[in-house]
Amino acid sequence: MKIAVVGVTGLVGGVMCKVLEERNFPVGEFLAVASARSVGKEVKFRDEPYTVIGMEEAVAARPDVAIFSAGGSTSLEWAPKFAAAGTVVIDNSSAWRMDPDKKLVVPEVNADILTKADKIIANPNCSTIQMVMALAPLHRAYQIRRVVVSTYQSFTGTGMKAVKQYQLERKGFDPKPEEMAYHYPIFENCLPHCDVFLDNDYTKEEMKLVNETRKILGDDSIRVTATAVRVPVHGGHSESVNVEFARPYEIAEVRRMLEDMPGLTVVDDPKQNQYPMPLAAKNRDEVFVGRIRRDESIENGLNLWVVADNLRKGAATNAVQIAEYLLEHKLLGQKAAMA
């Protein structure tokens, strides 16, 4: 297949290339695509050098799939142009997630909604992906009424600039204002400020958890409230998730459902100090869940601790899995008909 990675020189773009390699996705022709300032640079894919090309050249090449990680404004401008050429776009930005005409997909949860007609498919927010992986089987069984989630998100989710800020601070340097991705230091600090603040005093990241969870689970009645915190962790997001169900449950049955959920790994043995941690989740594709316990303060309440590598399952791996699903279920290959 002819595959384009758009935003290939960015942090997530690099991981997308790595995931495509590791999962042996059938790439016959690889297109390294980025903004004009990166055109002409060289990247490697499967140990082969590729020269970065621009958007217009990539659209003209008519790839089968274009995996985007280039920001919302870029996606809004260019994803429709790729789609018009017959390319299926899998977009990692927030641009299309809440568009009622676009599918928002976590393959293990709702890939069955995809059809050949879907030319722009949205990849959910990293924090939402890992949370709905744990919530989906439980919602089907017990009907979730309310979710209270607090996130502990790696600075890597902000991109290269945040990584450089952290590295400078860790070495004892004070970054210049133009070198700072955040308003304050991130090293040895926690910032309750992910993305920009909205009129309701929540951040965009927090409202993504609210709105995307409802869309993916297909239930607007679920009440969600979130507090998103950026932490000095280099390799994964963690979430404290409190759930209230409409129906009673048994902890043993909850464990069984979580253990049976594809892509989810239960790590939960408090007596042996076994629980998920971002350090252990780094460079892994699974979502990890532990600290599974009844919330004794409300009826039908449950507490979970959910961890995943935000650059992999939270971004690159989920996008590649969508492409794998499309290929496996023969939902690709309409370009000739559209030419």
Each residue of 308-319: b (16+ CB within 10 Å) or e?
Answer: bbbbbbbbbbbb
**Calpha distance 302→244 (Å, rounded):** 6
**Residues taking part in catalysis:** 126, 237
Residue pair 103/113 in contact by the 8 Å Cβ criterion: yes
User: Which residues make Cβ contacts (< 8 Å) with residue 40, sequence separation at least 6?
Assistant: 51, 52
